[in-house]
Structure 1
Amino acid sequence: MTERQVRQVTDSRVLAAMSHPLRRRLLDVLAVYGPQPVGALAERTGQAPANISHHMKVLRDCGLVEEAPERARDKRERWWRPVSAGLRWSGRDFADDPAESAVLQAAESLNLDRQVALVREWYAAGDDEQAVWGESAFAADRWLHLTPEELAELNREILAVFDRWSARDAPDGPERRPVFVFAHGVPAQP
């Protein structure tokens, strides 16, 4: 199998499709657990299989997922897999059209909401969870004085660390589980 690349999203319709909260979650489930049948996606998200099928077709029509028929046990079972290893986009690709710019702003807001919600879930986790993972989970932030070029360099370095950790072969284990890590570097004022 060839290595999947990170997809550069330049179409606002694709950005809108992947920004829907359930579709974003479905993409996350596929990224974490690999190809899944509709039934497993429904169980993992607490949704009806018919609803999952609808959203998977929307994602397919945008080229974000594809069927994995070789995994199906029969013709009724539908398996899905992500087409790319990840997604990225640039505001420059949507700046010339006010409608596309509005889609971009909504997508970025929904994306940030999803990221913050995952962190909030961790902080709301029970004492047992906190006892096991509390010393390992982290939050880090710094105020830096950077040029745009230096921020771009920092971005490349952070993505390289993420890529190295996500590409490594790690056997499943009793204490190994999905961990969400994210970073933002934006100009701001304290």
Structure 2
Amino acid sequence: MPADKNHRVKDIDTLKALGHPLRIKLYRALFMAGTATASQLADKVDEAVSLVSYHLRKLSAHGVIEEAEPGSGDGRERWWRPVSTTLSTRDEDWRDAPERAAVHTAVSRVYARQWSEMYQEYLDLKETWSDEWRGASFSSEFLFTLTAGELQEFGRDLDELAAKWRERGTTAREAGETQGRENVVLHVNGFPFRT
């Protein structure tokens, strides 16, 4: 896994590459695995290896993933890894032209749909998780009155907190402490609204 590093996407071609629903799923699966081959990822996303290979090469061409040191196996398959621990976009990077802003919004909608689908899948399968995991899971809505600067500061605080917990989990996994450890997703959006 790469050192804690944010890859802030600012170019339109990379954004478009990341806007493909299967590529988003592949990136998530690769991130959680640390390193993986196209075959391993194809099993996780239930797609053909040839299709997965194609999309991995596209992600690599845009600097989102890179080849990794070969893991187990016979050495004929390529191993991949993410280049950063965080992918992000900022609205300010897309305001310069209406077509750039439209692409950013469209890609953001793809991510929002997948976030919703992930949570709905959890809800559909909730009874398959232990009482401990169901008790640890949460869904919250917090309402604030903030300035734009305060919301930005709040976002930075959340980034720092997430980095702390990501590092804790990564360190434990690398130390072989895998008992009771599961992949966890946290989706957070902070935005203004009017009532």
TM bin, normalised by shorter chain, reads over 0.9
Q: Which moved more, 1:42-51 or 1:94-103?
A: 94-103
Q: Partners of 2:2 and 2:163 in 1: how far apart?
A: 17
Q: Partners of 1:86 and 1:78 in 2: how far apart?
A: 23
Summarize deviations over 1:69-92 as a string: whole Å, max 9, x none. Answer: 543744531111111111111111
Q: Which moved more, 1:29-38 or 1:1-10?
A: 1-10
Aligned-residue sequence identity (percent) comes to 29
Say which SS state the counterpart of residue 71 (structure 1) adopts.
Answer: coil
Within the candidate set 174, 179, 182, 2:179 is matched to 174
Summarize deviations over 1:130-170 as a string: whole Å, max 9, x none. Answer: 63422110011111110111111111111111010001122
- TM normalised by structure 2 equals 0.90
What's the offset of the Cα at 1:178?
A: 0.2
Residue identity opposite 2:123 in structure 1: Y
**Counterpart in 2 of 1:51?**
51
**Counterpart in 2 of 1:185?**
190
Alpha carbon RMSD of aligned pairs, Å?
1.8
**Counterpart in 1 of 2:90?**
90
The number of residues matched between the two structures is 190
Given that residues 72 and 78 in structure 1 are in contact (C-alpha distance below 8 angstroms), is that contact kept between their aligned partners in structure 2? Answer: no
Gaps of 5+ in 1: none
Q: CA 1:59–1:142 in 2, change beyond 3 Å: closer, same or farther?
A: same
Given that residues 26 and 41 in structure 2 are in contact (C-alpha distance below 8 angstroms), is that contact kept between their aligned partners in structure 1? Answer: yes
- TM normalised by structure 1 equals 0.92
Residue identity opposite 2:185 in structure 1: F
Q: CA 1:95–1:35 in 2, change beyond 3 Å: closer, same or farther?
A: same
Given that residues 6 and 86 in structure 2 are in contact (C-alpha distance below 8 angstroms), is that contact kept between their aligned partners in structure 1? Answer: yes
Q: Partners of 2:46 and 2:34 in 1: how far apart?
A: 18
Given that residues 72 and 79 in structure 1 are in contact (C-alpha distance below 8 angstroms), is that contact kept between their aligned partners in structure 2? Answer: no
**Counterpart in 2 of 1:66?**
66
Q: CA 1:2–1:181 in 2, change beyond 3 Å: closer, same or farther?
A: closer
Q: CA 1:65–1:49 in 2, change beyond 3 Å: closer, same or farther?
A: same
Q: CA 1:55–1:125 in 2, change beyond 3 Å: closer, same or farther?
A: same
Gaps of 5+ in 2: none
Q: Partners of 2:90 and 2:142 in 1: how far apart?
A: 24
Q: CA 1:108–1:2 in 2, change beyond 3 Å: closer, same or farther?
A: closer
Q: Partners of 2:96 and 2:4 in 1: how far apart?
A: 30
Q: Partners of 1:2 and 1:128 in 2: how far apart?
A: 32
Say which SS state the counterpart of residue 191 (structure 2) adopts.
Answer: coil
Q: Partners of 1:2 and 1:151 in 2: how far apart?
A: 28
**Counterpart in 2 of 1:9?**
9
Given that residues 2 and 84 in structure 2 are in contact (C-alpha distance below 8 angstroms), is that contact kept between their aligned partners in structure 1? Answer: no
Q: Partners of 2:114 and 2:128 in 1: how far apart?
A: 24
Q: Partners of 1:2 and 1:76 in 2: how far apart?
A: 23
Residue identity opposite 1:180 in structure 2: V
